[in-house]
Amino acid sequence: MRNLPVPALHILLAVSDRERHGYAIMQDVAARTGGKVRLGPGTLYGSIKRLLDDGLIDEHDGRDPDADVRRRYYKITRQGRKVAMEETARLSALLRHARAVGLVPKTV
């Protein structure tokens, strides 16, 4: 398994519980990280294109008839969920090792 780029993992997390459009993904990432991670449009849509090409997310037309017809919604695929789970397990193991060597404070 290859390592997933950080923006791609954030996007998969944002669409893991429900469909979201691009701006909602940017808002979710910023809110979830306390504003420490902000995906700009270039990073967001470049990452979305790669995730679509890799089959990790699917794209849908807007669901609300009153919504902007250009708005696209994205949702995670079964393969995307598998890749996200593998990546979070990899990061969790890395964090355990960093904690063991004193690079991360031990939790109480």
Residue type, 57: I
Which pLDDT does position 105 carry in this prediction? 79
- Residue 8 neighbours by CB distance under 10 Å: 23
Q: Over 60: is that where the pLDDT of 108 sits? A: no
Q: Give the tens place of pLDDT for each residue, 45-58.
A: 999 999 999 999 99
Which pLDDT does position 69 carry in this prediction? 64
Which pLDDT does position 65 carry in this prediction? 59
Cβ atoms of residues 81 and 16 within 8 Å: yes
Q: Give the tens place of pLDDT for each residue, 64-98.
A: 656 666 789 999 999 999 999 999 999 999 999 99
- Residue 13 neighbours by CB distance under 10 Å: 17
Q: Could you tell me which of 53, 45, 38, 37 has the C-alpha nearest to residue 21?
A: 45
**Which range is least confidently modeled, 14-23, 30-39, 77-86, 97-106?**
97-106
Q: Over 90: is that where the pLDDT of 39 sits? A: yes
How far apart (Å, rounded) are the C-alpha atoms in residues 65 and 63?
Answer: 6
Which pLDDT does position 104 carry in this prediction? 87
Cβ atoms of residues 37 and 44 within 8 Å: no
Please indicate whether residue 2 or residue 15 has the higher confidence score (pLDDT).
15
Which pLDDT does position 61 carry in this prediction? 72
